[in-house]
Amino acid sequence: QITLNGRHGDIKPSNILWFAATRTLKLTDFGLAEFHTILSRAGQSSSGLAVSPDYRPPEMDVDGGKVSRPYDIWSMGCIYLELIAWLLEGYDLVQRFRAERTLGAINVANGQKSAPFFELQRTCETKRIQARRATWAVQNLHTRTHTHTMYSAQRA
């Protein structure tokens, strides 16, 4: 029996539907999904893959980056950060968070600006692009969650 492993490849808020009657979230749009056997799941080259620019993981922009199932975990983590922003201060904070991420926007292949959750750095020695860290906006939101009155009230 062959076991298949999958990657959605396009997890973003607009691909998550809310069903109020059953209080259920459902992931949709499997157009970029891929399934692999254990032999082929080690990672596909990230060059030339279609992505959602804002929710892409760093390996999409890093030289020699490989895409695998953790790609979807990164995307979900980005969505969770936006959800936390919404829970703390509503849609206004979600919009501010996106605007802050856009300040360090990266031009992607199609010429659009994106609002990534990471920064890149080119090494001096090899000139290769390597992921650096979460953007200032992500770090700022992390700090904000720990100092927010909602968080402080629950800890008391």
pTM for the model stands at 0.77
Residue 7 has pLDDT above 90, yes or no: no
Residue 18: beta bridge partners?
25
Range of weakest confidence among 6-10, 60-64, 140-144: 60-64
Ranges of each domain in the chain: 50-155
Give the span between the Cα atoms of 54 and 60, in whole angstroms: 11
Q: What is the pLDDT of residues 53-70, one digit of tens each?
A: 889 888 887 777 777 778
Mapped onto helix, strand or coil, the DSSP state of residue 50 is coil
Residue 93 has pLDDT above 90, yes or no: yes
Closest CA to 131 of 74, 45, 59: 59
Q: Assign 130 a pLDDT band (cuts: 50, 70, 90).
A: low
Please identify every residue annotated as catalytic.
10
